[in-house]
Copies of this chain bind each other. A is one copy, B any other.
Amino acid sequence: MSIAVDGIEFDEGKRQGISMNVAVVGYGYWGPNLARNFSSLEGVSLRTVCECNPHLLKKAQKAYPLASMTGDFDEILKDGSIDAVCIATPALTHYDLSLRALRAGKHVLVEKPMAMSSAQCDMMAREADKRGLVVMVDHPFAYCGAVRKLAEFSSKGELGNLYYFDSVRINLGIMQSDVNVLWDLAVHDLSILFQLGGERPVSVSASGVSHIENRPIDTVYLTLHYDSSFIAHVHVSWLAPIKIRHTTVAGDCKMAIYNDTESVEKLKIYDSGVDMKSASREDMNKLLVEYRAGDIYVPRLDSSEPLALLTADFYHAVCRSEKPLTGAEDGARVVRILEAADRSIQRNGERIAL
């Protein structure tokens, strides 16, 4: 079987006998998903699961009786049979664990956010480059069928010149205790935004509030400003009564809505917009605005699990020594925005230049 992302084909496990041994570090919320996907990927073996919580480690052992279990990260570093390490631990540890893995000669797939500062991200990228290793960030939405299709529409110019990007990602929980909601949720919206390509933001402003005493900020409104009239806005919250995952990308030709909570019609392309017409020959300045609300097109999407494509892309990048779709550059770019947004929140919403 081969999987295509963006025109690239992944011939899983058929790399002339190349196989990859993987260790998954962290078996809390996300680690089990990584373990499951790696364990079903041809050419890949889940060699070790590392987790300090014994209850979780026992669960991992039950699910993967042939893998070895450990609570000691150093064991993984020392194990010469392990080619790649997947870091699914709290965000604050991403930098340290990744760097140690890279220095031990392991390829690294690290959960989002890549690290807690852009300086850390750059350091990780340099370390990987120096050693010819892959460092990849787990931005799963970049591999989601709807986002791939949306990026395709956008890059083909079907939406026209983009007006704005607006994304809402709210739900009740998970209230992280180590990072604020930006670093937990907005990272997804930013990684989706960057998949669309196009202009680079010049500044960031954000407002955020913590409603629960001694807890990180739970609700943020984030705006990215551009040289053109394009604007991007992200609303994230852990304190919403319902789950919303709603991203609008509007252009002067067409507009798209990606609603991830829909089971079937996740992506809709609206042939809607504004047409300008001169009111008359004489008065060219007087333009009439005409609204066009046309047909709607709901494309069939690839329904593969994004993480299946992502882990395959990681494997592929390791085999071919190529850049994955969501490499260090992508991870650093997102972290740079988050850093600036944090600063803007501290300064009452001041615009922070990028």
Contact residues of A with B, CB < 8 Å? 39-40, 62, 65-66, 163-164, 166, 168, 172-173, 175, 177, 205, 207, 209-215, 219, 221, 223, 225, 229, 231, 233, 235, 237, 239-243, 248, 250, 252, 255-257, 261, 263-265, 268, 270-274, 276, 285, 287, 289, 291, 293-300, 348-351
Cα(A205)–Cα(B349), bound, Å:
8
Query: How many copies, total?
Result: 4
Q: List 9 A-B contacts (CB under 8 A).
A: A173-B289, A175-B289, A212-B289, A214-B287, A221-B223, A240-B250, A241-B272, A265-B296, A349-B350
Cα(A209)–Cα(B210), bound, Å:
28
- Expressed in whole angstroms, the minimum distance between the Cβ of A56 and any Cβ of chain B is 14
Q: Are B223 and A173 in contact (CB under 8 A)?
A: no
Q: Are A298 and B299 in contact (CB under 8 A)?
A: no
Cα(A298)–Cα(B239), bound, Å:
20
Interface of A is mostly: strand
Q: Are A239 and B175 in contact (CB under 8 A)?
A: no
Q: A229-B210, A274-B175, A293-B300 are in contact. Are A248 and B255 (CB under 8 A)?
A: no
Interfacial chain B residues near A349, Cβ < 8 Å: 205, 223, 349-351
Q: Are A300 and B289 in contact (CB under 8 A)?
A: no
- Which of B164, B255, B297 is A295 in contact with, Cβ under 8 Å? B297
Q: A172-B272, A289-B175 are in contact. Are A211 and B163 (CB under 8 A)?
A: yes
Interfacial chain B residues near A172, Cβ < 8 Å: 272-274, 291, 293
Q: Are B295 and A270 in contact (CB under 8 A)?
A: no
Q: Are B270 and A255 in contact (CB under 8 A)?
A: no
Cα(A168)–Cα(B271), bound, Å:
22
Cα(A213)–Cα(B277), bound, Å:
12
Q: Are B295 and A298 in contact (CB under 8 A)?
A: yes
Q: A175-B289, A295-B297, A298-B298 are in contact. Are A241 and B250 (CB under 8 A)?
A: yes
Interfacial chain B residues near A270, Cβ < 8 Å: 241-242
Cα(A7)–Cα(B301), bound, Å:
36
- Expressed in whole angstroms, the minimum distance between the Cβ of A177 and any Cβ of chain B is 8
Interfacial chain B residues near A272, Cβ < 8 Å: 172, 241
Cα(A168)–Cα(B235), bound, Å:
11
- Which of B39, B173, B210, B295 is A291 in contact with, Cβ under 8 Å? B173
Q: Are B298 and A296 in contact (CB under 8 A)?
A: yes
Q: Which B residue's beta carbon lies closest to that of A256?
A: B241
Q: Are B231 and A207 in contact (CB under 8 A)?
A: yes
Interfacial chain B residues near A248, Cβ < 8 Å: 240-241
Q: Are A209 and B250 in contact (CB under 8 A)?
A: no
- Expressed in whole angstroms, the minimum distance between the Cβ of A92 and any Cβ of chain B is 17
Q: Which B residue's beta carbon lies closest to that of A242?
A: B257
Q: Are A209 and B348 in contact (CB under 8 A)?
A: no
Cα(A241)–Cα(B209), bound, Å:
30
Q: Are B231 and A219 in contact (CB under 8 A)?
A: yes
